[in-house]
Amino acid sequence: MGEDTEIPLPDKEQNFNDWYNEIILRAELVDLRYGVKGFIVYRPNLATVLKQTYRLFEDALDEHGHSICNFPVVIPLEFFQKEAEHIKGFSGEVFWITKAGDSELDKPLLLRPTSETAMYPLYAYWIRSYRDLPLKLYQSNTVYRYETKATKPLIRGREFYWIEAHDVHRTFEDAVNQVKEDMEITIDVLHNQLGIPFLLMERPSWDRFAGAEHSFAFDVLFPDKEVLQIATTHLLGETFSRAFDIMFEDEDGTKKYGQQTCFGIGISRIAATIISMHGDNYGLIIPFHVAPIQIIIVPIPKKGKSELILEKCEEVYQKLKDKGYRVKLDNSENRPGAKFYHWELLGVPIRLEIGPKDIENGVITTFRRDKRERFQIKESQLIKTIEQLRGEILNELRSRREKDLEENIREAKNKEEFLEIAKNKGGFIKIEFCDGNKCAEVIKEETGGYEVRGKLFGKEEKTMGNCIICGEKAKSIVYVAKAY
Amino acid sequence: MGEDTEIPLPDKEQNFNDWYNEIILRAELVDLRYGVKGFIVYRPNLATVLKQTYRLFEDALDEHGHSICNFPVVIPLEFFQKEAEHIKGFSGEVFWITKAGDSELDKPLLLRPTSETAMYPLYAYWIRSYRDLPLKLYQSNTVYRYETKATKPLIRGREFYWIEAHDVHRTFEDAVNQVKEDMEITIDVLHNQLGIPFLLMERPSWDRFAGAEHSFAFDVLFPDKEVLQIATTHLLGETFSRAFDIMFEDEDGTKKYGQQTCFGIGISRIAATIISMHGDNYGLIIPFHVAPIQIIIVPIPKKGKSELILEKCEEVYQKLKDKGYRVKLDNSENRPGAKFYHWELLGVPIRLEIGPKDIENGVITTFRRDKRERFQIKESQLIKTIEQLRGEILNELRSRREKDLEENIREAKNKEEFLEIAKNKGGFIKIEFCDGNKCAEVIKEETGGYEVRGKLFGKEEKTMGNCIICGEKAKSIVYVAKAY
């Protein structure tokens, strides 16, 4: 902890971009001086959030019958070339290794942009019989894409942290259920542990993952009213199992292709979402489940009482640590005000302040970072109160963001209304749509980049009228937004 | 679970190499058919052990004031070239990225062989004042070396999984203490959690890490009497801080170079050690702390009682799961004998067998994988017994391997004795030594590859005589062994 500049942050609502660019540096989340475009350094304050987020998803995947595995970061050319659509989708953006030591490689290797073509040749070896199914594996890794669009830290880069799960099922129905399970896992972590609301969309046909039959995606709303895709699950069907020869002998002796799904959880992007959604003008607010420090204890000094105070702080520290909380006692020499400022900037969800009066009265002064409220709790009720607070804080964070999301979904009855909202409001715009890529292109052009994000999944929304762009009979209700 | 071939494994003591090559495939730990030399696939049975081992070390590092961070996998050429000794040590074995998408890169990037040159340029930005010290960061990542020696799965490859910690201290003494702390962390996990004994060596001057002033290493003994380095900690002093300009202003206003250390924990190699050390002719024995499945429950069927039995199995399963154990109930259709065979092969440390008689008598038939002993425990004492068993199993595994190690450290009083032991016995050979590289070369030549591994750290062993090779006055007692 150095001396923080106590210059206010840019206003988050008014000027989100400046706020974001400032907070990621001031809270020491990343360093952008690594010297290779699109590659950034994750500093401990962020890397710890990443680690915790990985563990939440890994535990959830394990709980649902997935197993972890590790495939190499390099993919041999002959693996990569097996599925035509997939190559078309990715070959323009891969990094090539052509040399090792002093010698040129006979065949170049590529850094994985995603691992379908690394994993599926092995799946073909492993799967022989229906008894080998389902096969449900995931990797916690990094992938590499030579992005030519402008990069933005944690949101769009050339190296990103994610989890990718790749499953093979016996029947198409099982694969469909797998996609639903992937959704449940994502919803559970985002909603119940991170307080992140989202729209779950089925992507239009022209925006599917290269090789997928159906693509579903979790879109979140950023404070600047643009949206970000943070997780996707794809029904691959037999596209890859045919290309990679993933076949099994079914119970009746017939040979069949495996029914596949894949599932990506953007851990870097979820970190960006945590920062952007929950933060405020005082800095970060990190959800309790993934906070590097969940509870910070600040002694309030008083002459002649310092020993007594420190003793009590250490007692409280030990009590919380024994309960498994990530707790820190800040007994540095800074004044309490500087400590408050610092730990608020870093988003520690709960602060305990312990001074002579607290000790005298058997209480602890408690500060909730989300509401910035200070109140007293009984020391004897400490653990119980913390248990309760963590739930309340999560609910508060989530309901704030749910309100945002709700307020930023607007219906446009015609093109004029649509363009007006796109120009002045942003967020999601709900329209009647013909499902045509041409109309999607018109939208993009006339709005400077709005995209058809797809239909809402899991809720039937019936169309009554015509496409607001071309006037033909509408086929679905879609959500349109400007995306990162 | 398929149908295991119940053909016995090769005998581990007689033919370790065949045993190893067979077990890693039969227990589905790795797949060697990835198609790129030196790159292997970690299957779930092994990847889960890796994940748990990472978590043990990460938790231990966190506990000792380290923080996690993430640096890119690519290193720009200009970073890599900053420290001359280091380049000399690594440049022959790096992978080069020269192309991205369709374009040649202006400057090639290399895949990190280790992260000193990635991290230290940023350390120079972050460290300004003595208040910024110590800086103690680690990464859980993979590194890439274009090995030209023969590769061996998990032991020597071109991609390996490790943790690397890089610390900067204010004084040389603090750095020395850091090295000791690194040793304590390693000892704690290896000894108390994995049951792995080792020799902690200070490496001779010609075998130090490129750029280090002192290198310390944990050597373990394999069943074939060869040794493997699984962790190292290096006192770097100012070598890198001078090359990378890592300076701080001390309390008295003077500018000083940071005192550095680095610490590598070979997670892939520790996995190889777990497999090789603890396994037996029935398969793996995975230490309780890192076992993917810690307790397997096998129902013993009896006609007309299947519902009763399954109910009890599920009750026991839930009880163990609630306590946080990684437990599995195997209610597949295989016969109990096949299940026993399978889960023994996979090294599950504790098996519970529940049949009608057990239920009648309020007991559970329990099987310890390490001793292959079957006994009955009271169902009411289940949790308490498991708690106790996990400690006993660890002690048993460790003491077996300690005995091995002890029996395979032999003193050679002269060159003749030395060559005889090297030829016929293997293991560590303790000799009086002049500390000269020339004599080390003689040893290597005359024994077909034995290496001076260094002096035992932390235990002063005084020399009384002369170097057994050249006859000059000995400077130290060293340990010589054939190493992987």
Which residue type is seen at A162? W
Q: With b meaning 16 or more CB within 10 Å and e meaning fewer, what string describes B284-319?
A: bbbbbbbbbbbbbbbbbeeeebeeebeebbeebbee
Q: How far is A99 from chain B (nearest CA, A)?
A: 5
Q: Please, which residues 442-461 of chain A have a Cβ atom closer than 8 Å to chain B? A: none
Say if CB B96 and CB B110 are below 8 A apart.
Answer: yes
- B35/A96 CB distance under 8 A: no
pLDDT per position as a tens digit, A88-109: 888 889 999 999 998 999 999 9
Say if CB A61 and CB B52 are below 8 A apart.
Answer: no
- CATH 3.30.110.30 spans which residues of chain A? 409-482
- B43/A148 CB distance under 8 A: no
> What is the pLDDT confidence band of residue A2, given thresholds at 50, 70 and 90?
very low
User: How many other C-beta atoms can be found within 10 angstroms of the C-beta atom of residue B438?
Assistant: 10
Gap between the Cα atoms of A380 and B79, Å rounded: 55
pLDDT of res. B2: 47
The second-level CATH assignment, the architecture, of A288-392 is 3-Layer(aba) Sandwich (3.40)
Gap between the Cα atoms of B174 and B134, Å rounded: 9
- CATH 3.40.50.800 spans which residues of chain B? 288-393
Q: Please, which residues 410-449 of chain A have a Cβ atom closer than 8 Å to chain B? A: none
- Judged by a CB distance cut-off of 8 A, whether residue A146 touches chain B is yes
Q: How far is A72 from chain B (nearest CA, A)?
A: 6
> What is the pLDDT confidence band of residue B202, given thresholds at 50, 70 and 90?
very high
Model-level pTM?
0.96
> What is the pLDDT confidence band of residue B415, given thresholds at 50, 70 and 90?
very high
Using the predicted structure, report yes or no on whether residue B65 has a pLDDT greater than 80.
yes
Say if CB B385 and CB B377 are below 8 A apart.
Answer: yes
Fold of A409-482: Translation Initiation Factor IF3 (3.30.110)
pLDDT of res. A92: 87
Question: Does the predicted interface ipTM exceed a cut of 0.90?
Answer: yes
pLDDT of res. B5: 63
pLDDT per position as a tens digit, B100-119: 998 999 999 999 999 999 99
Which residue type is seen at B392? E
Using the predicted structure, report yes or no on whether residue A374 has a pLDDT greater than 70.
yes
Gap between the Cα atoms of A382 and A386, Å rounded: 6
- Please name the helix (run of DSSP H) or strand (run of DSSP E) that holds residue A410, with its range, or none: strand A409-411
Residue A274: which of A377, A198, A208 has the closest Cα? A198
pLDDT of res. B334: 93
Fold of B288-393: Rossmann fold (3.40.50)
The mean pLDDT of chain B is 95
Q: In Å, how far are A83, A158, B321 from A37, measured between CA atoms?
A: 29, 8, 46
- CATH 3.30.930.10 spans which residues of chain B? 16-278
Say if CB A263 and CB A215 are below 8 A apart.
Answer: no
Residue B131: which of A309, A334, A246 has the closest Cα? A334
Which residue type is seen at A287? P
Cis before residue A301, ω within 30 degrees of 0? no
> What is the pLDDT confidence band of residue A461, given thresholds at 50, 70 and 90?
confident
- B146/A100 CB distance under 8 A: yes
Q: In Å, how far are A79, A121, A124, A313, B160 from B33, measured between CA atoms?
A: 12, 9, 11, 57, 17
CATH 3.30.930.10 fits A16-278, yes or no: yes
- Judged by a CB distance cut-off of 8 A, whether residue A147 touches chain B is no
Alpha helices by DSSP H, listed for B413-482, are: 415-424, 437-447
Provide φ and ψ at B412, rounded to 5°.
-115, 125
User: How many other C-beta atoms can be found within 10 angstroms of the C-beta atom of residue A13?
Assistant: 10
Across residues B141-153, what is the average pLDDT?
Answer: 92
Say if CB B208 and CB B200 are below 8 A apart.
Answer: no
- A42/B76 CB distance under 8 A: no
pLDDT per position as a tens digit, B71-94: 999 999 999 988 777 778 888 899
User: Among residues of chain A, what percentage have pLDDT more than 70?
Assistant: 99
